[in-house]
Amino acid sequence: MNAKEKLSRKNGAGLHICVGLDTDIKKIPQSLLKYEDPVFEFNRRIIEATKGSAAAYKINFAFYETEGSKGFDSLKRTISLIPNDVLTIGDAKRGDIGNTSQMYASSVFDHFGFDSVTLHPYMGRDSLSPFIDYGDKLNFVLALTSNPGAADFEKLKLEEGSFLFQKVIKTVTGWNEKENCGFVFGATNIDELKENIGLFKGMPVLLPGVGAQGGSLEETARSFEMNGHNAYLINVSRALIYCDASENFEIKVKETLEGYNKIIAEIIKSL
Amino acid sequence: MNAKEKLSRKNGAGLHICVGLDTDIKKIPQSLLKYEDPVFEFNRRIIEATKGSAAAYKINFAFYETEGSKGFDSLKRTISLIPNDVLTIGDAKRGDIGNTSQMYASSVFDHFGFDSVTLHPYMGRDSLSPFIDYGDKLNFVLALTSNPGAADFEKLKLEEGSFLFQKVIKTVTGWNEKENCGFVFGATNIDELKENIGLFKGMPVLLPGVGAQGGSLEETARSFEMNGHNAYLINVSRALIYCDASENFEIKVKETLEGYNKIIAEIIKSL
């Protein structure tokens, strides 16, 4: 099953929450520190508890790289636990000249075995094409991000009339010959999402910003469902994985995720 | 000695070549494959031969990440060989929301111990500030890159009149309160370099694109020297490290690097 099929099956079953494994050893329950690899043990329990209710898992490379090769080992072991029918997103935000992007693509897709990746568009087509060349993978290109700095460059107005992030969306849409591109779009400003949702042309959208960053899960899901756009993933990281600090934290994580799924199910039913 | 001092001492001594360790196990001399870690052995010999003539070493993360944790081990061992007075550049092209960039900064600067890093500007100020907060490090922000895709977004004309890459340069100049920012600017188009050299305001510039990508070492160095701008590094990767496939390849690498240094010395003398 390729990446797009995995996503479309989960989305078709009403599952749209992506569990963000931004696992920080300083934030996980203290009770895990007795394990040899506490980060892996934390991820193992989260995945075990949520694998039937998650639409995808997004693993944030930064949180593993900070421990060097030890972190990369935890990352690789974590991926091996994710069931084969659930999309894995390597949130690595890569992008470099062609021969270097080729190496990054090989790292994310071949070495770690991710189904999909997040990418920086700044360096243009040949920085993305080594990833896009993997026809069975999915490539989420940064469009409008969820952080305050999105205003600095992404929202600059171009001479031709659109904002830079809109130009990125339109341009990448033209590079989508293998139908394996999508976008990252911040869910922190619902009006911006509504204004731009038509630009996505049904391509998969990964939405960070819900939870710790203040975006609304309900309004985000409603915007997509009302537009008949089913290929979307709402990422929740900190607000979900650290919702309980007790020894059996995974029970509360599972309940919280199922609560999110219920909110989305009710929106779908109401339309 | 902080990063900027390292750079300024080497530049002051007329050294401007950055040795790019884009080490690919498929391209190194066959004679090294008998070693347990051929990538490390290749780097070790290059560093041993060139450490007196190099202005800096740039390590391209992609070439190590493609081997996962094993590659990260080779990377960390490689850094430990570089003399303390030579600038190390972690060519990682990172950039993410604040709490994630904090983790990336900790990876590059604390875990691996690099003096400097390359960064994607797309996500704006709060994606760069966790790096900039390290006052003793140097941050090379992508402005205009050396690849064909630079035309896709970097060279878009903004409503306010400048190109996106020029806006990035001007904006980052305003974020340089700790005087630890610089730029990546492709050396493939000498006219563009000449037209924009004044924007750098003397801040350090890292120039890829010479060698395999076709940029001219001589014209690049002359442009900076004629403008009285001494803080620059011309990166050469493939054209230098793979210039000889024999068993004693490092002799030819050293000679080639010294040849580059001589070209620059003659330019300086002629002015």
Tens digit of pLDDT for each residue in A119-151?
Answer: 999 999 999 999 999 999 999 999 999 899 999
CATH code for position A41: 3.20.20.70
B73 touches chain A (CB under 8 A): yes
Helix (H) and strand (E) counts in chain A: 11, 8
Would you call A152 an interface residue with chain B, using a CB distance cutoff of 8 Å?
Answer: yes
Check B120 against A151: CB less than 8 A apart.
no
How many domains is chain A partitioned into structurally?
Answer: 1
State residue B36's pLDDT score.
97
Is A214's Cβ below 8 Å from some Cβ in B?
A: no
Residues from chain B that touch A110, judged by Cβ atoms under 8 A, are 66
Residues 6+ apart with CB under 8 A from A266: none
Q: Do A156 and B158 touch (CB under 8 A)?
A: yes
Cβ pair B149:A123 closer than 8 A: yes
Q: B73 to chain A, minimum CA–CA distance in Å? A: 6
Which one of the listed residues B93, B155, B167, B194 is annotated catalytic? B93
* CA B262 – CA B143 distance, rounded (Å): 28
- The percentage of chain B sitting over the pLDDT mark of 70, rounded to a whole number, equals 100
Higher pLDDT, A211 or B187: B187
Contact A62 B208 (CB under 8 A): no
pLDDT digits (tens, 9 = 90+) for B252-269: 999 999 999 999 999 999
Which of B22, B61, B103, B210 should be substituted to probe chain A, the one whose Cβ sees the most A Cβ atoms within 10 Å? B103
Q: Which has the closest alpha carbon to B22: B87, B94, B73, B71?
A: B71
Q: Is the pLDDT of residue B181 over 90?
A: yes
> 3-state DSSP: chain B helix, strand, coil percent, rounded to 5?
45, 15, 35
Please answer whether residues A159 and B158 qualify as being in contact, where contact means their C-beta atoms are separated by less than 8 angstroms.
yes
Coil, strand, or helix at residue A161?
A: coil
Q: Which residue of A has its CA nearest to B66?
A: A107
- Cα dihedral B263/B264/B266/B270 (nearest 10): 140
* Chain A with chain B: Cβ pairs closer than 8 A: 197
Place of tokens 């809109």: A166
Do residue A148 and residue B156 have CB atoms under 8 angstroms apart? no
DSSP 3-state of A141: strand
pLDDT mean across residues, chain A: 97
Question: What is the per-residue pLDDT for A186?
Answer: 94
Amino acid at A195: E
Element spanning B45, H or E: helix B38-50
Determine the 3-state secondary structure of B87 from DSSP.
strand
What does the alpha-carbon distance between residue B269 and residue B165 come to, in Å, rounded to a whole number? Answer: 33
- The residues in A 244-263 lying below 8 A from B, measured between CB atoms, are none
B93 catalytic residue (yes or no):
yes
Name the E strands within chain A.
Answer: 17-21, 56-60, 87-94, 116-119, 138-144, 181-185, 205-207, 232-236
Mean pLDDT, to the nearest integer, of B76-105? 98
- Cβ within 8 Å of residue A91, ≥6 positions away: A20, A58, A59, A60, A61, A117, A118
Q: At B104, which amino acid appears?
A: Y
Q: How far apart are the CA of B15 and the nearest CA of chain A, in angstroms?
A: 26
Q: Which amino acid is at B232?
A: Y
A234: pLDDT strictly greater than 80: yes
Q: Is the pLDDT of residue B149 over 80?
A: yes
pLDDT the model gives residue B2:
97
Query: Residue B271 pLDDT more than 90?
Result: no
- What was the pLDDT predicted at B215? 86
The rounded distance, in Å, linking the Cα atoms of A102 and A133 is 10
Tell me the pLDDT band of A106, cut-offs 50, 70 and 90: very high
Q: Which domain holds residue A58?
A: 3-270
Checking if the pLDDT of A212 tops 80, the result is no
Q: Has residue B185 got a pLDDT over 80?
A: yes
Pick from B66, B73, B101: which is nearest to A69 by CB? Answer: B73
**pLDDT computed for residue A74 by the predictor:** 98
Regarding predicted confidence, which is higher, A209 or A95? A95
pLDDT at B31: 95
Residue B98 at interface with chain A, using a CB cutoff of 8 Å: yes
B125 and A76 within 8 Å at the Cβ level: the answer is: no
Calculate mean pLDDT across residues A25-47.
97
Q: What is the largest CA-CA distance in chain B?
A: 58
User: A156, B164: Cβ pair inside 8 Å?
Assistant: yes
Q: First CA to last CA across chain A, in angstroms?
A: 30
CA dist., res. A181 & res. A176, Å (int): 6
State whether A125 and B152 contact (CB < 8 Å). yes
Q: Which residues contact B17 (CB under 8 A, 6 or more apart)?
A: B53, B54, B55, B233, B234, B235, B236, B240, B257, B260, B261, B264
Confidence of residue A192 (pLDDT cuts 50, 70, 90): very high
Q: How far is CA B197 from CA A152, B185, B231, B236, in A?
A: 22, 10, 12, 20
Interface of B with A in 132-151 (CB under 8 A): 142, 145-151
Judged against a pLDDT cut of 90, whether residue A60 lies above it is answered with yes
What whole-number distance in Å separates Cα of residue A194 and Cα of residue A219? 10
- Could B124 and A152 be called an inter-chain contact, meaning their C-beta atoms sit closer than 8 Å? yes
Among A147, A154, A239, A140, which residue's Cα sits nearest to residue B98? A147
Q: Please report residues of B whose CB lies closer than 8 A to that of A159.
A: 156-159
Instruction: Evaluate if residue A113 carries a pLDDT over 80.
Output: yes
- Give me the amino acid identity at B86: V
Q: Give the pairing of strands A138-144 and A205-207.
A: unpaired
Inform me whether the pLDDT recorded for A211 exceeds 90.
no
Find the DSSP H helices in chain B: 3-12, 38-50, 62-65, 69-79, 98-105, 125-132, 164-174, 190-196, 217-226, 238-241, 249-270
**B234 to chain A, minimum CA–CA distance in Å?**
17
**Does B77 contact A at CB distance below 8 Å?**
no
C-alpha distance from residue A229 to each of A57, A223, A266 (Å): 21, 9, 16
Whether A218 has its CB under 8 Å from any CB of chain B: the answer is no
- Mean pLDDT confidence for A174-181: 98
Contact A69 B72 (CB under 8 A): yes
Which residues, numbered 177 to 196 in chain B, qualify as contacts with chain A under a Cβ-Cβ cut-off of 8 Å?
none
Amino acid letter, B264: I
pLDDT of residue A271: 87
* Sequence letter at residue B184: V
